[in-house]
Amino acid sequence: MNHILNLKKAKKTRKTFSFNWIKISLEVISVIFISSILTTLAIKALDKGNLTASLNEGFKKEGGR
């Protein structure tokens, strides 16, 4: 009987271990995603004048869509 209980405990710890890995990987992915969004926003804010001007030029060349 004691052996069965020990096996159940081992299974439980294994499940929580994999769950923790999933949680950690999700956190890492979300951090990378948020940082990439922030960097693109920062680049847009810094390069506002040049970028928008070049985009407008491109639209004018294409026929002003």
> Which H or E element spans position 38?
helix 2-46
What pLDDT does 29 receive? 94
Examine the pLDDT at 65 and tell me if it is beyond 60: no
Flag whether the pTM goes above 0.85.
Answer: no
Question: Angle formed by the axes of helices 48-62 and 2-46, to 10°?
Answer: 80
Q: For 35-62, how does the pLDDT look when each residue is reduced to its tens digit (9 = 90+)?
A: 999 888 887 777 776 666 666 776 666 6
Contact 21, 14 (CB under 8 A): no
What pLDDT does 45 receive? 75
Q: For 20-31, how does the pLDDT look when each residue is reduced to its tens digit (9 = 90+)?
A: 888 999 999 999
